[in-house]
A and B are shown apart, each in its own frame.
Chain A
């Protein structure tokens, strides 16, 4: 109501807030902070790749694949082994990026054909628990095969060092991740929207009975989608291997973050996964800058905020 508070108090308050916000934004725009944000974003490219696979499976098969994190971990460990077999260096790395995701895809193919496909008529919660059983099994399988110590995958010389961005050194590998992310997004978009298989899988996501009634082998479609989704998980694991410690338990935190991203972005929506990953990465980086101890809470809070306005996620979901 005009005249309620003395006008000069109001304008003083406005001016104060405006100055605080501008100061904050200015500090953000300092090269150091921007660089840190970019590094954080390059890590979330990995999250996006894994989350897009999860979103694909969730959208078409309607299964929240808890084992996705374990497949990511298997991808990382496989990358380690393949890289060792090929003697490290750039060949080792390239072979790892190629073979590890394929290996994960093979594993997922086996479990899909062997067990999953028999259970598609069951209630969702049973399928969900089944993926959890696989997560448990894979977690220990990795321990059995690779042991409990952490592994490191050597970063090839090509990627070592940094390039100057905004006058500050920015790791080359992280920079290439920033390039790979959108490439994967575009490739996925092409597959889902421009290929026949993609169109069929989108139809199956909406109405699987109809698709089956038209004579298409829905089971085969599900298999392909599942394998592609798991391939992405393996790819994420292989890509992240050189810059983190490949260790047991990397599946647990990742699957939580991937779930958050998928929920935030809209189930089954690839661009939603991209948007969700961006928001996640940004809020996490900003959060750590602003409040280091509880920085990790910011992405979760962002999810809650998004979901209070759009309960089904930011972009259209297939559910």
Chain B
């Protein structure tokens, strides 16, 4: 798979990201932090969807739960922000466990549809609970620690946390647990026959995916200092799925790439026209029809073909 090539590219990227805030205006720093947050979220979705084979159709709930948990803890309950940042992903993971236990009995699309229903319930509660969650206004001006309050501070915090999260997800996916999970995805019956408790492994994967989505939620709070109910709405869940699909959902970094493409496209298309939703719809259609393996998936395919052509010659 061009191992050396990939490492060089990643190192270059890391270098660019490290020095970005010093070269570009503040808006781009904010945008990059947002991209990385969305990329982390999309990768956590892919954890359950691409690697686990689970129809995780309402992943945004866990993202929103993590973000709201952090926001509410800081503003309404007065917790120390650092404590809130640690507890929030755990809240998201707990929610993931609860929803998972309810939905796991169902297969495939049923699982996804029930998750959408339950997620919508959470959204409805958050949307209406004006006193606690700010209702449809959301919560703004969340005070984050001054060290990471500045634009640069938030940026580097996001990079470091997201980098760690991606690292951990990568290790998990290549560990025995990850292999087992992929085995379940490819052949659940066979996995059962070799002694794997399929449901328990799937639940564990869901909790992990929910945890990392919660981390992404915390990062958003840091970057944007606000939360709003749309973060829990099913349209966001589908947007994240589009990011994963566009980037390539059988690859690890595909979703991150997809997030970058979508966020950048949205930012620039929105300056030209107000019909970004239309453009995204067309883009999604084209990807499904012509590029189902995603951008990164296509790139890897081309690399592999070239490598085997070289081997033969």
> CB-CB contacts of B227-242 with A at 8 A, as 1s and 0s?
0000001110010011
**Given A296-B128, A300-B124, A259 and B285 contact (CB-CB distance below 8 Å):** no
A301 — which chain B residues lie within 8 A by C-beta? 121
Which of A2-10, A23-31, A128-136, A231-239 is the contact stretch?
A128-136
> CB-CB contacts of A108-142 with B at 8 A, as 1s and 0s?
00000001001100101110111011111101110
User: Contact at A137–B124, with CB atoms within 8 Å?
Assistant: no
User: Contact at A133–B117, with CB atoms within 8 Å?
Assistant: no
The CA of A301 and the CA of B125, in the complex, are separated in Å by: 11
Question: Residue of B at shortest CB range from A134?
Answer: B281
Is A217 part of the binding interface, using a Cβ–Cβ cutoff of 8 Å?
no
Name, among A130, A144, A300, the residue most crowded by chain B CB atoms within 10 Å (CB to CB). A300
Give how many B residues have a beta carbon under 8 Å from the other chain's beta carbons. Answer: 40
Is B5 part of the binding interface, using a Cβ–Cβ cutoff of 8 Å?
no
A18 — which chain B residues lie within 8 A by C-beta? none
User: Contact at B277–A139, with CB atoms within 8 Å?
Assistant: yes
Partner of A124, one of B109, B274, B281: B109
B274 — which chain A residues lie within 8 A by C-beta? 143
The CA of A304 and the CA of B242, in the complex, are separated in Å by: 28
The CA of A300 and the CA of B280, in the complex, are separated in Å by: 30
User: Contact at B285–A115, with CB atoms within 8 Å?
Assistant: yes
Is A11 part of the binding interface, using a Cβ–Cβ cutoff of 8 Å?
no
B55 — which chain A residues lie within 8 A by C-beta? 125
Is A16 part of the binding interface, using a Cβ–Cβ cutoff of 8 Å?
no
User: Contact at B281–A126, with CB atoms within 8 Å?
Assistant: no
CB proximity to B under 8 Å, residues A129-167: 129-130, 132-137, 139-141, 143-144
Question: Residue of B at shortest CB range from A257?
Answer: B120
User: Contact at A129–B245, with CB atoms within 8 Å?
Assistant: yes
Is B105 part of the binding interface, using a Cβ–Cβ cutoff of 8 Å?
yes
The CA of A142 and the CA of B274, in the complex, are separated in Å by: 13
User: Contact at A64–B124, with CB atoms within 8 Å?
Assistant: no
Question: Residue of B at shortest CB range from A267?
Answer: B110
A140 — which chain B residues lie within 8 A by C-beta? 275, 277-278, 281
**Given A293-B128, A300-B121, A319-B110, A136 and B278 contact (CB-CB distance below 8 Å):** yes
Q: How far is the CB of A29 from chain B (nearest CB, A)?
A: 28
B128 — which chain A residues lie within 8 A by C-beta? 293-294, 296-297
Is A311 part of the binding interface, using a Cβ–Cβ cutoff of 8 Å?
yes
Name, among A119, A126, A256, A294, the residue most crowded by chain B CB atoms within 10 Å (CB to CB). A256
Is A260 part of the binding interface, using a Cβ–Cβ cutoff of 8 Å?
yes
A139 — which chain B residues lie within 8 A by C-beta? 277-278, 281
> CB-CB contacts of A289-319 with B at 8 A, as 1s and 0s?
0000110110011011001100110000001
Is A84 part of the binding interface, using a Cβ–Cβ cutoff of 8 Å?
no
**Given A125-B55, A136-B281, A296-B124, A263 and B117 contact (CB-CB distance below 8 Å):** yes
Is A208 part of the binding interface, using a Cβ–Cβ cutoff of 8 Å?
no
Is B106 part of the binding interface, using a Cβ–Cβ cutoff of 8 Å?
yes
User: Contact at B113–A252, with CB atoms within 8 Å?
Assistant: no
The CA of A267 and the CA of B113, in the complex, are separated in Å by: 11
**Given A129-B238, A263-B117, A300-B121, A136 and B109 contact (CB-CB distance below 8 Å):** no
User: Contact at B109–A137, with CB atoms within 8 Å?
Assistant: no
Partner of B292, one of A115, A126, A304: A126
Q: How far is the CB of A200 from chain B (nearest CB, A)?
A: 23
**Given A259-B113, A311-B106, A133 and B234 contact (CB-CB distance below 8 Å):** no
> CB-CB contacts of B113-132 with A at 8 A, as 1s and 0s?
11011101100110011100
User: Contact at A297–B121, with CB atoms within 8 Å?
Assistant: yes
B108 — which chain A residues lie within 8 A by C-beta? 124
**Given A135-B281, A294-B125, A256 and B289 contact (CB-CB distance below 8 Å):** no
User: Contact at B121–A129, with CB atoms within 8 Å?
Assistant: no
B292 — which chain A residues lie within 8 A by C-beta? 122, 126
A267 — which chain B residues lie within 8 A by C-beta? 110
Q: How far is the CB of B128 from chain A (nearest CB, A)?
A: 5
The CA of A11 and the CA of B284, in the complex, are separated in Å by: 64
The CA of A194 and the CA of B285, in the complex, are separated in Å by: 37
User: Contact at A256–B120, with CB atoms within 8 Å?
Assistant: yes
A137 — which chain B residues lie within 8 A by C-beta? 277-278, 281-282, 285
A308 — which chain B residues lie within 8 A by C-beta? 102
User: Contact at B114–A133, with CB atoms within 8 Å?
Assistant: no
> CB-CB contacts of B217-252 with A at 8 A, as 1s and 0s?
000000000000000011100100110010000000
User: Contact at B102–A304, with CB atoms within 8 Å?
Assistant: yes
Is B189 part of the binding interface, using a Cβ–Cβ cutoff of 8 Å?
no
Is B164 part of the binding interface, using a Cβ–Cβ cutoff of 8 Å?
no
User: Contact at A303–B117, with CB atoms within 8 Å?
Assistant: yes
CB proximity to A under 8 Å, residues B259-312: 274-275, 277-278, 280-282, 284-285, 288-289, 292
Question: Residue of B at shortest CB range from A130?
Answer: B288
User: Contact at B116–A259, with CB atoms within 8 Å?
Assistant: yes
Q: Knowing that A132-B242, A133-B281 are A-B contacts, what are 6 other residue pairs whose CB atoms are under 8 Å apart, sorted by A's residue number? A: A115-B289, A128-B109, A136-B280, A136-B284, A137-B277, A304-B121
27 CB < 8 A contacts A-B:
A62-B109, A125-B55, A128-B57, A129-B242, A130-B284, A130-B285, A130-B288, A132-B281, A133-B284, A134-B281, A136-B277, A137-B278, A139-B278, A140-B275, A140-B277, A256-B120, A256-B234, A259-B117, A263-B114, A294-B128, A294-B129, A296-B124, A297-B121, A297-B128, A300-B118, A304-B102, A311-B110
A residues sitting closer than 8 Å to B (CB atoms) are 62, 64, 66, 115, 118-119, 122, 124-126, 128-130, 132-137, 139-141, 143-144, 252, 256, 259-260, 263, 267, 293-294, 296-297, 300-301, 303-304, 307-308, 311-312, 319
Shortest beta-carbon contacts, A-B, top 3: A136-B281, A140-B278, A137-B281
